[in-house]
Amino acid sequence: MYEKMDKDFVLNTYARNYVNFKQGINATLYDDKGKDYIDFTSGIGVVSVGHGNARMANAICEQARNLIHTSNLYLIEPQAKLAKKIVQLSGFDMAVFFANSGAEANEGAIKIARKYGERKFKNKKYKIITLENSFHGRTITTVKATGQKSFHKSDFSPYPDGFSFDKNIKTIYDSIDDETIAVMIELVQGEGGVWPIDKKEVQDLAKYLKERGLLLIVDEVQTGVYRSGEFLATNLYEIEPDIITLAKGLAGGVPIGAVLTKHKDIFEPGDHGSTFGGNFLSTRAGLEVLDILESYKNSGLLDETFLYFEENLTDICSKYPNIFNKQVGLGLMRGLRCKDAQVLSDAIKACFDEGLLVLKAGQNTLRVLPPLTISKDEIKEGFKRMKNAFDKIS
């Protein structure tokens, strides 16, 4: 019934699996028939503190009983508190703008860079360089910033100009010209195939840009909020960007996006805005998520989870050399590089049939993004199901 309803009334933009989930407990989901699934996707890196988290649910309910939304025309107490918390955890002297998604956060970052290029230089600088295989969003501008030609369909053209993409960090230097204002990168490319960028190359690029007064934008929509092991992958790479974007796991499933910048005076009232961005509900959820994850990190449990998950993933990779070439990624943003696209498709389907949710990244990578609070028992059961799936296709 609901499958037909979906097909009749919802725009056909997703290749769905028609499973109807009714309940979730941490990293385990239950469908309307009572079947359980171990969730190694966390809603594509969103459900950072797990499904049905009692603390988060209580915080959201308490906030909803009082205020959900008043608009940014007035002070929003949890927004101010969340901005302060994010800045403190980042370790940088920055200010924050709140939006509703990663794409919106990246739009904000682009606007900051463009205005900086207009105001800080005699001759306007506006061009932004990204990397091949990058992904920065689905709006017209962030699609153009995405370094995958498959996203640049003529159906949606013309696209905004001022964007180009390079094969890797080493080739960016030759692409910088008198009109370039910024380079925007993901430290680990998620949608593009779970590709971590070399730390030294990133540090060298950051230094080069700083010396020339150009901006480094780091898209942490997927890597941020402890997904890499630190609050920011930026912290792990030991760099200080000019602009950082966050979204996905920041509010555990409540829509949110955030732009952090050290250029705190670049915007003025009227330059940017959002009706819903940073409202009472999303920022109260964000505060609870960060409180949970900061405690989880400080207790050592997060690092233990990372190690146990990696051990299991390494074991899987070594046991199925006929399916996988290698393991990639860091923290709980991991991938298994498949032999080819067909093998990847078969592997994802086999996992689903066994009651394990996994993701595709790029052309040939099986991606896993479990909730950060996933238990050892759930990890153990998930990899048991993964082995059953791969036994059937090997």
Name the band, by pLDDT with cuts 50, 70 and 90, for residue 377.
very high
Q: pLDDT band at residue 340, thresholds of 50, 70 and 90?
A: confident
**DSSP state for residue 139 in the 8-state scheme:** S
Is the per-residue pLDDT at 320 higher than 80? yes
> Which tens digits make up the pLDDT trace of 161-205?
999 999 999 999 999 999 999 999 999 988 778 889 999 999 999
Mean pLDDT of 39-60: 98
Six token digits for residue 240 = 């200080």
Which residue bears the tokens 């969730």? Answer: 39
What pLDDT is stored for residue 347 in this prediction? 93
Phi and psi (nearest 5°) for 236? -65, -35
Which of these, 353, 352, 319, 128, lies nearest to 336 by C-alpha position?
319
Residue pair 159/147 in contact by the 8 Å Cβ criterion: no
Burial class (CB in 10 A: 0-12, 13-18, 19+), 106: buried
DSSP string, 278-342: T-HHHHHHHHHHHHHHHHHHHTTHHHHHHHHHHHHHHHHHHH-TTTEEEEEEETTEEEEEESSHH
pLDDT-derived band of residue 325, with 50, 70 and 90 as boundaries? confident
Distance CA 190, CA 64 (A): 33
The pLDDT assigned to 316 comes to 94
- Structural domains of the chain ordered from first start: 17-46+300-393 (3.90.1150.10), 55-298 (3.40.640.10)
pTM of full prediction above 0.85: yes
pLDDT given at position 241: 98
Please state, rounded to an integer, the average pLDDT across all residues of the chain.
96
In this prediction, residues 256-260 reach a mean pLDDT of: 98
